[in-house]
Amino acid sequence: MRVNMTVNGRPYEADDVWEGESLLYVLRERLGLPGSKNACEQGECGSCTVRLDGVPVCACLVAAGQAEGSEVVTVEGLADHARQRSGEAAGAVCPGEPEEGHPGTPGTTRHPEPTRPGQVAPLAPVQQAFIDAGAVQCGFCTPGLLVTADELLERNPDPSDADIREALSGNLCRCTGYEKILDAVRLAAARTGEAV
Amino acid sequence: MDFLRPAGWEEALAAKAEHPTAVPIAGGTDVMVEINFDHRRPEYLLDLTRVAELAEWEATDRTVRLGAGVPYTRIIEELRTELPGLALAAHTVGSPQIRNRGTVGGNLGAASPAGDAHPALLAAGAEVEVASVRGTRRIPVEEFFTGVKRHVLEPDELIRAVHIRRADGPQQFSKVGTRNAMVIAVCAFAVALHPRTRTVRTGIGSAAPTPVRAREAEEFLGAALDEGGFWDSGAPLDPSVVRRFVELCAGACRPIDDVRGTAAYRRHAVGVMARRTLGWTWEAYREGEGRTAQCA
């Protein structure tokens, strides 16, 4: 079957999709977006976490056909997603004024062009914080954690430690012992708070 | 495999009637695991996520009609007051990602003895609304399960909603597992006080082939509360009453030894959870939650 969806702001069409195939398989093997990782295939590890119409889900448990017509954000689009969000926030504070320091013409601020393939995207605050806090070791769990943590901070810009632990409870990491991941989320929250 | 994508409920029932072997899929948190691991290769997948009315709930005076497709996250956020036991149970399901997709309709459809929603539904009092092109029927939740992962649905029937009694007193849910998140219950227990009818109801999970109520325990405690005038006095419970309730709850289990725990452990743990949850709910009742104003 054919499946149409918008991924990271761009329309995609996948052909010859098997009816029992997961959204994760479509993203990785058909759309060339291998950022979302395939590990447990049973929703236990969270390394395939993506946003499906805004909601964090395990892409391995979404049937491809269920994603028809939906908006998906993967780790590849996280920087654009965060940039667009901060553009919207800035727009709310100073309506009509383009955000400084961003490429593009006035009027594109609220809906910046998605990063083109091959172009190096600036990092989302949560991505930079993971690097700065040393929260990345082997990196396999990182894409899922980034998508999950970014959604937490979008929903709750000033989370308590309990909020962070609960939000990340569906993302397993076997390297870090989680402490530096918690540090990274606190750091991203603090930086985002300062910026506002 | 064919992927059926009905846009409405009538269309879904027609599809199920035409293809009785079709496997319904909502959040996919059970069905997709079976497909990913090649444990199941259904001829048809019947996607219910486009049937908008399944994702709605409505509250009346006495009940909440919970659409089969309402995800756990929304139960936690929107129905904490009306369905406190189910909201607590929903909070123990999987992880945020799983709770964003998983549904009570799916939990019932899977009919696992370890389903987290089941003890809470049993304790609150609920009926499952199932439908086919032949019509609609409502099944008390205690009659819904017939065995391990088996239920009373006919091949052409789909779960439309669950009618759950709105809480009229404190409710609790407790679950034993190796950690707080991503855990299938070793065993679980739910209790609900129903001051309006002066009854107590319970639900036990993962300690028998199906989720069960501890009926003898319910009847014993109900009688003890009534005879001792506890509903009116709000007095602390007699330790001997609690002890007997705990024994009867543990006695209602028919557990097995498996990788998650032994039968003896499960029976013991159900007793511990029965004592704790009864203590919590009775304290809440004494403090006035769900109790009408006392005479001065």
Q: Which two tokens stand for residue B60?
A: 């009346």
Residue B245 belongs to a domain: yes
Domain endpoint, select from A47, A73, A99? A73
Number of domains composing chain A:
3
- Name every chain A residue with its beta carbon within 8 A of the beta carbon of B33: 41-43, 61
Task: Give the gap in angstroms from C-alpha A169 to the nearest C-alpha of chain B.
Answer: 6
Angstrom distance (rounded) from CA A36 to CA B46? 26
Q: Is the pLDDT of residue A107 over 50?
A: no
The whole-number pLDDT of residue B296 equals 38
Query: Which residues, at least 6 apart from B188, have a Cβ–Cβ distance to it below 8 Å?
Result: B89, B92, B114, B116, B119, B173, B174, B175, B176, B203, B204, B205, B206, B273
- Name every chain A residue with its beta carbon within 8 A of the beta carbon of B98: 43, 58, 61, 170
The whole-number pLDDT of residue B61 equals 93
Task: Give the gap in angstroms from C-alpha A167 to the nearest C-alpha of chain B.
Answer: 6
Residues A150 and A164 in one domain: yes
Q: Is the pLDDT of residue B11 over 80?
A: yes
Of B5, B29, B101, the CB nearest to A65: B5
Longest alpha-carbon distance in chain A: 48
Task: Give the gap in angstroms from C-alpha B49 to the nearest C-alpha of chain A.
Answer: 7
User: Which value does ipTM take for this structure?
Assistant: 0.93
The whole-number pLDDT of residue A113 equals 58
Is B276:B282 a contact under the CB 8 Å cutoff?
Answer: no
Q: What is the mean pLDDT of chain B?
A: 96
Report the first-to-last Cα separation within chain B, whole angstroms: 69
Q: Is the pLDDT of residue A110 over 60?
A: no
Task: Measure CA A45 to chain center.
Answer: 16
Query: Which residues, at least 6 apart from B206, have a Cβ–Cβ distance to it below 8 Å?
Result: B113, B114, B184, B185, B186, B187, B188, B255, B260, B266
Q: What is the mean pLDDT of residues B46-56?
A: 98
Q: How many CB atoms are closer than 10 A to CB A180? A: 18
**How many interchain CB pairs under 8 A, A with B?**
88
Q: Please give the torsion angle defined by the CA atoms of residues A107, A109, A114 and A115, in that order, rounded to the nearest 10 degrees.
A: 120
Residue B54 belongs to a domain: no
Please state the pTM of the whole predicted model. Answer: 0.92
Identify from B34, B73, B95 which residue to disrupt to test chain A contact, counting A C-beta atoms within 10 A and taking the largest count: B95
The whole-number pLDDT of residue A196 equals 58
Residues A185 and A137 in one domain: yes
From residue B153, alpha-carbon distances to B110, B114, B132, B160, B210 in Å are 11, 19, 10, 12, 15
Residue B253 belongs to a domain: yes
| Percentage of chain B lying above the pLDDT 70 cut | 97
Task: Give the gap in angstroms from C-alpha A21 to the nearest C-alpha of chain B.
Answer: 8
Domain that includes residue A106, residue range: 78-119
Domain endpoint, select from A86, A119, A152? A119
Task: Give the gap in angstroms from C-alpha B87 to the nearest C-alpha of chain A.
Answer: 16
Number of domains composing chain B:
2
- Name every chain A residue with its beta carbon within 8 A of the beta carbon of B27: 61
The whole-number pLDDT of residue A118 equals 63
Residue B256 belongs to a domain: yes
Residues A156 and A196 in one domain: yes
From residue B201, alpha-carbon distances to B188, B194, B198, B271, B275 in Å are 14, 8, 10, 15, 14
Is B274:B202 a contact under the CB 8 Å cutoff?
Answer: yes
CATH number at residue A37: 3.10.20.30
Q: Is the pLDDT of residue A117 over 90?
A: no
C-alpha dihedral sign at A157, A163, A169, A175: positive
- Name every chain B residue with its beta carbon within 8 A of the beta carbon of A41: 33, 36-37
Quickly state the pLDDT bin for A116 (edges 50, 70, 90): low
Do residue A169 and residue B35 have CB atoms under 8 angstroms apart? no
The whole-number pLDDT of residue A86 equals 87
User: What is the tens place of the pLDDT at every residue in A3-29?
Assistant: 999 999 999 999 999 999 999 999 999
Q: Is the pLDDT of residue A93 over 50?
A: no
The whole-number pLDDT of residue A101 equals 42
The whole-number pLDDT of residue B288 equals 83
Q: Is the pLDDT of residue A98 over 80?
A: no
CATH number at residue B13: 3.30.43.10
Residues A127 and A144 in one domain: yes
Q: Is the pLDDT of residue B282 over 60?
A: yes
| Percentage of chain B lying above the pLDDT 90 cut | 96
The whole-number pLDDT of residue A119 equals 64
Residues A129 and A190 in one domain: yes
Angstrom distance (rounded) from CA B224 to CA B141? 26
User: What is the tens place of the pLDDT at every residue in B253-278?
Assistant: 999 999 999 999 999 999 999 999 99
Q: What is the mean pLDDT of chain A?
A: 88
Is B127:A84 a contact under the CB 8 Å cutoff?
Answer: no
Domain that includes residue B19, residue range: 1-47
Of A22, A65, A171, the CB nearest to B36: A22
Is B93:B87 a contact under the CB 8 Å cutoff?
Answer: no
Residue in this structure with the two tokens 């990785």, named with its chain if needed: A28
Residue B224 belongs to a domain: yes
